[in-house]
């Protein structure tokens, strides 16, 4: 098991570097929004996690790479100590990119020494597994944060011609009918899950039908053309306030030029594919579209119990469920306990995964969560009636 875990560690760490290969050094630094971190910070923070959570406590005589890195690259762990303000992550021009790559190599070498010691307790294995899943989360965030930063460049720069990510279409149409009943929810086997998926429990579900396909760009364009962003009737009050405050009129990255719609992607600006799944919309937009259609979003429980009957994984799918703890959820002591529990307020659950999600990082019980105004993830809509 140790060998397969080490191989998995090396592969996942390498994928982060692969995501960074198309970048110029200048691309590693910008932070265009408070919630979006620069690639340099993602590279360093995912490395800090292994150093802070594992090496400091479990590798004898380990010496930290740099005494200031915990302050610079801690994200939100209050139990670990002070950290740089989130708004200032883009100000970290020093240490530079080369130094951060040396940091990654240093930590990886010492993780290898930990494996060589043949002294991997179950606690260390669990922390390594959590750290790898944490890095996979940041691999997707690295791509979405980078896309947001590049979109601010009026030249519509290309990250990679192979990274369009928007155009794959759903091939299955129709509806899945789910009968009324009591269903089991939550992660209940020995494979990895985050703590917010635990607490297997039963829920009662009324009968419903859920779409086998995601809402397409063309379907959402019909909503726009029908005055979707100019009629308050479709919107929740906070959503309508968001529309007015942001002068919103289309999904993030959509641009209209000479009567034709385009979409900014990681491979540059492309003509909008009307048959591709909609992407980069927030909960307010998803809910308004569903209301306009005379339908609704699924609850996270409806999504989970029906997910075996449709293809998913192209877009994170907004649900109508607030992000709350499952029965018997408990926050573990120490820094690991800060991973999910303290964010269970004012956020909505998304299910599935996206085309930017790393391989082997998706499961039907996965509970992603974001504030309802957030658009920059590869998020979309699946309707219920």
Average pLDDT over residues 85-114: 96
Average pLDDT over residues 370-384: 98
| 8 A C-beta contact, residue 39 and residue 27 | yes
| 8 A C-beta contact, residue 290 and residue 383 | yes
Q: Does residue 298 carry a pLDDT above 80?
A: yes
Instruction: Say how far apart CA 24 and CA 159 lie, in whole Å.
Output: 9
Q: Does residue 169 carry a pLDDT above 70?
A: yes
Structural domains present in the chain: 2-151 (1.20.120), 175-380 (3.90.1580.10)
Q: Does residue 249 carry a pLDDT above 70?
A: yes
Give pLDDT, residue 117: 87
Q: What is the mean pLDDT of the chain?
A: 95
Q: pLDDT-based confidence at 168, cuts 50/70/90?
A: confident
| 8 A C-beta contact, residue 348 and residue 297 | no
Percent residues over pLDDT 70 in the chain: 99
Encode pLDDT of 229-244 as tens digits: 999 999 999 999 999 9
Give pLDDT, residue 340: 84
Encode pLDDT of 344-355 as tens digits: 999 999 999 999
Q: Does residue 246 carry a pLDDT above 90?
A: yes
Q: Does residue 31 carry a pLDDT above 90?
A: yes
Give pLDDT, residue 3: 74
Average pLDDT over residues 178-185: 98
Ranges assigned E (strand) in the chain: 175-178, 181-185, 201-205, 208-211, 254-257, 260-265, 268-271, 316-322, 348-352, 368-370, 379-380
Average pLDDT over residues 258-277: 96
Would the CA dihedral through 145, 149, 150, 151 be positive or negative?
positive
Average pLDDT over residues 183-208: 96
User: Within 10 Å of residue 237's Cβ, how many Cβ atoms?
Assistant: 8
Average pLDDT over residues 118-127: 91
Average pLDDT over residues 250-273: 96
Q: Phi/psi of residue 278, each to 5°? A: -60, 145
Average pLDDT over residues 55-73: 96
Average pLDDT over residues 167-186: 92
Closest CA to 220 of 188, 267, 247, 253: 253
Average pLDDT over residues 69-80: 92
Largest separation between any pair of C-alpha atoms in the chain:
66
Evaluate the omega torsion of the peptide bond into residue 210 and state whether it is cis, within 30 degrees of 0.
no
Give pLDDT, residue 52: 96
Give pLDDT, residue 267: 95
The bridge status of strand 260-265 relative to strand 254-257 is antiparallel
Q: pLDDT-based confidence at 9, cuts 50/70/90?
A: very high
Give pLDDT, residue 19: 98
Q: Does residue 360 carry a pLDDT above 60?
A: yes
Percent residues over pLDDT 90 in the chain: 90
Beta bridge partners of 201: 185
Give pLDDT, residue 294: 98
Q: Does residue 162 carry a pLDDT above 90?
A: no
Q: Does residue 1 carry a pLDDT above 70?
A: no
Encode pLDDT of 130-139 as tens digits: 999 999 999 9
Instruction: Say how far apart CA 144 and CA 36 lie, in whole Å.
Output: 8
Give pLDDT, residue 352: 98
Encode pLDDT of 322-339 as tens digits: 999 999 898 888 777 778
């Amino acid at each position: 098991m140790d060998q397969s875990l080490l191989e998995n560690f090396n592969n996942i760490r390498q994928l982060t570097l692969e995501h960074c290969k198309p970048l110029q050094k200048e691309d590693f630094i910008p932070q265009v929004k408070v919630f979006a971190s620069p690639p340099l910070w993602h590279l360093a923070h995912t490395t800090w996690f292994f150093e802070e959570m594992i090496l400091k406590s479990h590798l004898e005589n380990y010496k930290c790479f740099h005494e200031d890195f915990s302050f610079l690259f801690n994200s939100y762990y209050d139990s670990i100590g002070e950290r740089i303000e989130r708004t200032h992550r883009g100000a970290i021009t020093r240490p530079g990119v080369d130094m951060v790559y040396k940091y990654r190599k240093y930590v990886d070498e010492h993780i290898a020494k930990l494996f060589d010691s043949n002294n991997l307790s179950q606690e260390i294995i669990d922390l390594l597994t959590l750290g790898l899943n944490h890095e996979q989360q940041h691999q997707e965030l690295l791509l979405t944060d980078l896309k947001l930063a590049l979109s601010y460049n009026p030249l519509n720069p290309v990250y990679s011609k192979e990274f369009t990510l928007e155009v794959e279409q759903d091939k299955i149409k129709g509806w899945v009918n789910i009968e009324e009943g009591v269903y089991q929810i939550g992660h209940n086997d020995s494979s990895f899950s985050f703590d917010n998926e635990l607490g297997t429990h039963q829920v009662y579900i009324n009968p419903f039908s859920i779409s086998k396909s995601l809402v397409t760009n063309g379907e959402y364009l019909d909503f726009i053309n029908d005055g979707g962003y100019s009629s308050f009737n479709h919107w929740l009050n906070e959503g309508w306030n968001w529309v007015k405050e942001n002068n919103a009129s289309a999904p993030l990255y959509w641009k209209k030029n000479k009567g034709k719609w385009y979409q900014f992607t990681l491979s540059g600006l492309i003509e909008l594919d009307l048959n591709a799944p909609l992407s980069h919309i927030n909960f307010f937009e998803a809910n308004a579209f569903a209301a306009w259609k005379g339908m609704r979003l699924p609850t996270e429980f409806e999504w989970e119990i029906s997910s075996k009957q449709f293809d998913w994984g192209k877009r994170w799918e907004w649900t109508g469920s607030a992000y709350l703890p499952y029965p018997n959820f408990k926050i573990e002591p120490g820094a690991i306990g800060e991973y999910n529990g303290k964010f269970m307020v004012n956020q909505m659950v998304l299910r599935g995964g996206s085309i930017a999600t790393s391989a082997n990082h998706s499961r039907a019980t996965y509970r992603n969560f974001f504030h309802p105004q957030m658009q920059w993830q590869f998020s979309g809509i699946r309707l219920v009636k």
